Each structure stands twice: as C-alpha cells, then as structure tokens.
C-alpha cells in the first residue's frame, strides 16, 4: 500500500509539472511497483491519470489558462478513437505491447530532450494554430480545426492502447503546431487527458474493471501529487525537468525491452 501511494504521488506531481510526464510513467510504475501486467496496469493508470488531470484542468480553468474549445475538439476526436486503442490492447500479445510502449517512451524522450535544448528559442514558422494578438484566443480556420482534431485522434488511440493519457503527444504537438505559451499548453493538455481518460475508463468498466485497495491508493496519491506539482510549476526550470524526464524514459524503456525479450 505504501509503495503504491509513493508511486502514485510521484506520477501525479510529474503530470502536474509537465502535462505529459506522469501519464507515460504511470503504467511502468504499476508494472514494476505493483507487479501488474501491462494490459491490467493500463486502465488503472488511466483512472489515476484522468482523475489527477481533472483536478489540474479545473485549476487551469480558474486561472484562465485552458484553451477549452481546442481541448473539447481534441477530446471529442480522442474519445472516438480511444475504444479502438483499447480493442488493440486486448488483441495484441503482452510482449508486443511492452515493446510498443518502450518505443513510445524513447520517442517521448527524444522529443523532451529536443524541447529542452530549444527552450526560449524563437520559431519563425507560420504555425497552423495561432493566437490572435487582439483577443488572446485561437484564430479558428479549417486548418486549425483539422490539426487539433488530428492531435486528439492520435492521442486517443494511444490512450486506449497503452493507458498513457495522451499528454506525451498533446504537449509536444501543441508546442510544435501552436504559439500557445507552455503553461497554457500544460493546462489544456490536462483537460484533454481528463476527458479522453473518462471515456476510456468507462469502456473498461463496462468490461468488468475492478480495483484493489493498493490500486485505489495509487489513484488517490496521484490526485494529491497533482496538487503539489501544480503548486510548484512556476518554480521548477522546465528545461531541467524535461532533460531529467527524458533520462527516466530511456531507463524505463530499456527495462521494458529487456523484460519483453528476456
């Protein structure tokens, strides 16, 4: 029970700080800390990540940081594709899922490391999702809607298949395709994660999902950790956090590959 609480708190705090990192580490934490197979760990991770993200999203809404129209569009697209990912998770062998998860973690590590080097650098590209300097809101065009919808759809598949929340896709994608500031991206990502996770968890519950006491402790601690992470988000250098997170992803991915092939 104590191990579950510690792991959950760490996952929640990292999710609050980055809008992405906690979700990608929740499944490995459950696999290694509570000795759960990946297929069983994914829905539990989603409950923890989704509940913690909901708390972070509410805090972001109160501060006016969430791009709620964009988040709603991405969540609808993700909610439509998440069941397909959940179906894939049930059909694929456990070793394949572990190797796929490891590949995703290495991709996330590369993206996080790249963003940490580019922090503060200007980007002259004309991005498809732009903020109006007059209203401070998105300038909605068909290209903007298509881009945000595609981000949501891809994150939904990964949410259902790997139980990772989708933030590892949403945060880098919004950074690349939009000119929203990082605090707004993190808050928007948390809202999307909460909404997509709710759809996926409902689907898993319909198939008989039930949690043990230790798993509920993991969920509760993740929610508490989210509150701590959001409180310190302005005090932790993002570049240093991204580099540390990238290193952790590489280590965890290596262990997953070793176990899958061992």
Predicted confidence at residue 198, as pLDDT, reads 82
* pLDDT at residue 194, rounded to an integer: 86
Query: How many angstroms separate the CA atoms of 192 and 68, rounded?
Result: 9
Span 5-55, pLDDT tens digits: 999 998 888 877 776 666 677 888 888 888 888 777 878 888 888 888 888
Would you state the pLDDT for residue 148? 96
Burial group, residue 58, by CB count within 10 angstroms (0-12, 13-18, 19+): middle
Cα distance between residue 47 and residue 233, in whole Å: 23
Check residue 69 and give its pLDDT.
Answer: 93
Provide the pLDDT for residue 262. Answer: 65
Question: Which tokens belong to 46?
Answer: 């989603």
- Residues in Cβ contact with 40 at an 8 Å cutoff, skipping those fewer than 6 apart: none
CA–CA distances in Å: residue 100 to residues 73, 103, 253: 27, 5, 10
3-state helix, strand, coil in the chain (%, to 5): 80, 0, 20
Report the alpha-carbon distance of residue 28 to residue 8 in Å, rounded. 11
- Number of other residues whose CB lies within 10 A of the CB of residue 164: 30
Ranges under pLDDT 50 in the chain: none
Q: Give the Cα separation of 159 and 87 in Å (integer).
A: 11
CA angle 173, 165, 180 (to 5 degrees): 30
CA distance 87 to 126: 38
Contacts of 35 (CB under 8 A, 6+ apart): none
User: How far is it, in rounded angstroms, from Cα 106 to Cα 30?
Assistant: 19
Calculate Rg over the CA atoms of the chain: 17
- What is residue 123's predicted lDDT score, i.e. its pLDDT? 55
């Amino acid at each position: 029970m104590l191990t579950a609480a510690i792991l959950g708190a760490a996952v929640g705090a990292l999710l609050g700080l980055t809008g992405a990192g906690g979700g990608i580490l929740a499944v490995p934490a459950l696999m290694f800390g509570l000795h759960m197979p990946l297929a069983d760990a994914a829905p539990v991770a989603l409950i923890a990540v989704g509940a913690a993200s909901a708390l972070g999203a509410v805090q972001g809404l109160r501060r006016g940081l969430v791009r709620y129209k964009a988040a709603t569009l991405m969540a609808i697209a993700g909610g439509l594709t998440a069941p397909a990912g959940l179906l894939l998770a049930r059909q694929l062998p456990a070793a394949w899922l572990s190797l796929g998860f490891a590949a995703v973690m290495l991709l996330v590590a590369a993206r996080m490391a790249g963003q940490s080097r580019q922090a503060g650098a200007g980007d002259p590209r004309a991005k498809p999702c732009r903020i109006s300097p007059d209203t401070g809101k998105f300038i909605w065009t068909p290209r903007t809607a298509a881009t945000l919808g595609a981000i949501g759809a891809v994150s939904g598949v990964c949410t259902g298949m790997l139980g990772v929340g989708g933030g590892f896709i949403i945060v880098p994608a919004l950074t690349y395709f939009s000119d929203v500031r990082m605090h707004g991206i993190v808050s928007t990502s948390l809202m999307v994660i909460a909404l997509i996770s709710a759809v996926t968890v409902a689907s898993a519950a319909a198939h008989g999902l039930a949690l043990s006491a230790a798993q509920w402790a993991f969920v509760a601690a993740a929610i508490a950790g989210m509150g701590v992470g959001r409180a310190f988000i302005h005090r932790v250098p993002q570049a240093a956090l991204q580099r540390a997170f990238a290193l952790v992803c590489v280590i965890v991915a290596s262990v997953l590959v070793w176990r899958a092939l061992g």
